[in-house]
């Protein structure tokens, strides 16, 4: 490749300070929220239109230069980390909400739109965008599409993929394809290409325009918090809620260590001395929720909780959630560094999974705090360690791998919402057979024959960048983002 001519072509598409190549300008783009890894790209480009993105992709394809699209860089799996000597296509300037159709409950947005900005824009119509990753105040919808982001409400409402109706994408060779529609049925005819593209972690190209479905803002929320003297009782309470036929919007559990951290950080007012706390939230039409809540409280009262708190108003509800949402950053008070994992187990295996995690973490001599979406079995074990100690990171990484193996053994999966990225790609063969992976490679190769779209992510193999460090992302330390 003629490097000079390549840079010149990028400059022609994104003139002036919209093409960055100096080391000092590239530095902020070397990592995403998985700060353990960093790689220097060759260039960062800041397109301002879909046409410019397509032109950049075409130039990269012609030169065989790898690229990664990046929004706010909040990926916890290293998904938006640069490719060595590749191009970072930063999409933050494509941040227009192009169209809102309140009557059909849809919106058409560009990939750089921040998740929460959609809900803010449609609130006036009594609508919201449901997927709520905890970084929703800064993460972009393009990244959500690439990683099929989740949140606390996935059991009832699904993940990002369930809220995307249509896509306009540029494939790695520069071809533009549109699929889906403004109908709630999405594709409706033909294989579900939306389902295939969402969660493909940038390996199939870049979303240029996304049609999302919107939901009516629930008329009422009813939130209950219960303290238990054992983690097992909290887990059993979740099973009892499920067996009662209720469909809560969220069910969350925190264990003793996570509670200790949260209390120290934000004065949660959670039950003192609890080994576990369960939060259950119902939402919907007032008359229905009021009645359902009576059933829920009966179930919780019969579940062996030693203290039950019912949110009396919106401020109280916000306080209950503050402890949960801030749990991860709070753990930073207990330990200089931690790794968070994102495995999923069948809900009925939660108790067994937690017992096994405790056993294996004891054998490693490491503390693990547990905060998880109990409703959908999505664990978030936080492995505490001190990165200044020689070999501590590698030791913690080894425990993380054992925890993922436990999730797979119990019938679960590697990631519920953070994605595979760089972080978990080498565990993929534990989850999928060689034949399964071959099928994924074959599809990837047909869509990206030069392998230039975010190579080295999601699928196993490829050169791994060196581990640098773990610890909290600066935005996490500032309390702006949290790992749900």
Partner 1 sequence: MNASEISEIIKKSSKVVPKGGRTKPGSLCDMPSDATVIDLTQLCGIVEYEPDEYTITAKAGTSIKTLIEAVAANGQYLPFDPLFKDNGATLGGTIAANSSGSGRYRYGGIRDFILGIYFVDGMGNIVRGGGKVVKNASGFDLSKFMVGSLGRYGILTEITMKVFPKPAEYRTLEVTFGSLEDALNCTFALANTPFEMDALDFRRVTRDGRETNLWIRLGGLPESLPGRLNRLSSWLEQNTSAQTIIRKEFDGTHWDGLNDVEWGQEAKNLIKVPVSPRKLLTLDKCESINRAHYYGGGNVALVSADDLGGLTSTLNNLKLNGQLLRGDAEHPHLGNRGWVGLAQRVKQALDPDSKFLGV
264 touches partner 1 by CB under 8 A: no
Stretch that binds partner 1, among 25-33, 90-98, 282-290, 393-401 (CB under 8 A): 282-290
469 touches partner 1 by CB under 8 A: no
CA separation for the pair 287, 303 (Å, rounded): 25
Which residues within the stretch 231-260 sit at the binding site for partner 1 (CB under 8 A)? 239, 242-243, 245-247
CA separation for the pair 398, 280 (Å, rounded): 33
CB nearer to partner 1: pick between 92 and 136? 136
345 touches partner 1 by CB under 8 A: yes
216 touches partner 1 by CB under 8 A: yes
292 touches partner 1 by CB under 8 A: yes
Q: Of residues 288, 362, 363, 386, which one binds partner 1 by CB under 8 A?
A: 288
How many chain residues touch partner 1 (CB under 8 A)?
98
Stretch that binds partner 1, among 262-270, 279-287, 331-339, 356-364 (CB under 8 A): 279-287
CB nearer to partner 1: pick between 451 and 479? 451
Minimal distance, residue 203 CB to partner 1, in Å? 8
Nearest to 250 by CA among 210, 279, 213: 279
Minimal distance, residue 106 CB to partner 1, in Å? 8
Q: Of residues 324, 373, 380, 457, which one binds partner 1 by CB under 8 A?
A: 373
Q: Of residues 26, 308, 360, 443, which one binds partner 1 by CB under 8 A?
A: 443
Q: What is the 3-state secondary structure (H, E, C) of the chain?
A: CCHHHHHHHHHHHCCHHHEECCHHHHHHHCCCCCCCECCCCCEEECCCCHHHHHHHHHHHHHHCCCEEEECCCCCCCCCCCCCCCCEEEECCCCCCEEEEECCCCEEEECCCCEHHHHHHHHHHHCEECCCCCCCCCCCEHHHHHHHCCCCCCHHHHCCHHHHEEEEEEECCCCCEEEEECCCCCCCCCCCCHHHHHCCCCCCCCEEEEEEEECEECCCEEEEEEEEECCHHHHHHHHHHHHHCCCCCCEEEEEEHHHHHHHHHHHCCCCCCCCCEEEEEEEEECHHHHHHHHHHHHHHHHCCCCCEEEECCCHHHHHHHHHHHHCHHHHHCCCCCEEEECCCECCHHHHHHHHHHHHHHHHHHCCCEEEEEECCCCECCEEEEECCCCCCHHHHHHHHHHHHHHHHHHCCCECCCCCCCCCCCHHHHHHHCCHHHHHHHHHHHHHHCCCCCECCCCCCCCCCCCCECCCCCCHHHHCCCCCCC
Which residues within the stretch 120-139 sit at the binding site for partner 1 (CB under 8 A)? 125-127
Which residues within the stretch 405-434 sit at the binding site for partner 1 (CB under 8 A)? 411-420, 424, 428, 431-433
21 touches partner 1 by CB under 8 A: no
Which residues within the stretch 144-203 sit at the binding site for partner 1 (CB under 8 A)? 147-148, 150, 154-156, 158-159, 161-162, 171, 175, 177-179, 181-196, 198-200
Nearest to 376 by CA among 288, 277, 253: 253
Minimal distance, residue 288 CB to partner 1, in Å? 5
CB nearer to partner 1: pick between 370 and 378? 378
CB nearer to partner 1: pick between 351 and 471? 351
Q: Retrieve residue 350's tokens.
A: 């939660």
Minimal distance, residue 251 CB to partner 1, in Å? 12
CB nearer to partner 1: pick between 85 and 236? 236
Contact partners, residue 397, CB within 8 Å, separation at least 6:
339, 467
363 touches partner 1 by CB under 8 A: no
CA separation for the pair 457, 82 (Å, rounded): 10
Stretch that binds partner 1, among 66-74, 96-104, 227-235, 301-309 (CB under 8 A): 96-104
Minimal distance, residue 235 CB to partner 1, in Å? 11
CB nearer to partner 1: pick between 81 and 159? 159
Minimal distance, residue 75 CB to partner 1, in Å? 12
Q: Of residues 70, 222, 317, 347, which one binds partner 1 by CB under 8 A?
A: 347
CA separation for the pair 14, 416 (Å, rounded): 36
CA separation for the pair 348, 360 (Å, rounded): 20
115 touches partner 1 by CB under 8 A: no
Q: Of residues 3, 25, 64, 102, which one binds partner 1 by CB under 8 A?
A: 102
376 touches partner 1 by CB under 8 A: yes
Stretch that binds partner 1, among 131-139, 289-297, 309-317, 471-479 (CB under 8 A): 289-297
CB nearer to partner 1: pick between 158 and 304? 158
Stretch that binds partner 1, among 131-139, 285-293, 319-327, 329-337 (CB under 8 A): 285-293
């Amino acid at each position: 490749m003629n490097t000079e001519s390549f840079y010149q072509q990028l400059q022609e598409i994104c003139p002036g300070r919209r093409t960055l190549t100096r080391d000092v300008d590239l530095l902020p783009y070397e990592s995403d929220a998985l700060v353990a890894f960093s790689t220097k790209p060759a260039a960062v480009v800041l397109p301002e239109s879909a046409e410019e993105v397509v032109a950049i992709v075409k130039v990269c394809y012609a030169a065989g230069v790898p690229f990664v699209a990046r929004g706010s860089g909040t990926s916890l799996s290293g998904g938006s980390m640069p490719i060595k000597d590749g191009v970072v296509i930063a999409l933050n300037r494509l941040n227009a909400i192009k169209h809102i159709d309140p009557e059909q409950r849809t919106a058409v947005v560009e990939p750089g739109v921040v998740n929460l900005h959609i809900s803010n824009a449609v609130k006036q119509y009594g609508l919201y965008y449901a997927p709520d990753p905890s970084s929703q105040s800064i993460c972009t919808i393009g990244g959500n599409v690439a990683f099929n982001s989740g949140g606390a409400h996935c059991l009832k409402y699904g993940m990002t993929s369930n809220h995307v109706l249509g896509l306009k994408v540029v494939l790695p060779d520069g071809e533009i394809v549109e699929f889906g529609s403004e109908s709630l049925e999405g594709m409706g005819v033909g294989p579900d290409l939306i389902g295939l593209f969402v969660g493909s972690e940038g390996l199939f190209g870049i979303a240029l325009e996304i049609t999302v479905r919107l939901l009516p803002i629930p008329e009422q929320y009813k939130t209950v918090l219960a303290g238990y003297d054992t983690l097992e009782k909290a887990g059993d309470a979740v099973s009892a809620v499920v067996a009662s036929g209720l469909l809560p919007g969220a069910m969350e559990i925190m264990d003793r260590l996570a509670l200790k951290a949260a209390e120290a950080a934000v004065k949660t007012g959670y039950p003192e001395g609890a080994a576990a706390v369960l939060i259950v939230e119902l939402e919907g039409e007032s008359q229905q929720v009021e009645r359902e809540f009576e059933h829920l409280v009966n179930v919780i009262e019969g579940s062996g909780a030693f203290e039950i708190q019912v949110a009396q108003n919106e401020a109280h509800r916000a306080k209950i959630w503050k402890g949960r949402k801030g749990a991860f950053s709070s753990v930073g008070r207990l330990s200089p560094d931690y790794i968070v994992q994102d495995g999923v187990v069948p809900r009925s295996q939660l108790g067994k999974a937690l017992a096994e995690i405790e056993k294996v973490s004891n054998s490693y001599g490491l503390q693990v705090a547990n905060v998880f979406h109990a409703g959908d079995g999505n664990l978030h074990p936080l492995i505490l360690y001190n990165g200044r100690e020689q070999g501590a990171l590698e030791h913690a990484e080894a425990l993380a791998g054992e925890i993922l193996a436990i999730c797979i053994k119990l019938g679960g999966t590697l990631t519920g919402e953070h994605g595979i990225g760089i972080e978990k790609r080498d565990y993929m063969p534990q989850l999928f057979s060689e034949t399964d992976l071959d099928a994924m490679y074959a599809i990837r190769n047909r869509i990206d024959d030069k392998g230039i779209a975010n190579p080295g992510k999601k699928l196993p193999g490829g050169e791994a960048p060196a581990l640098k460090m773990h610890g909290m992302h600066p935005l996490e330390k500032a309390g702006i983002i949290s790992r749900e």
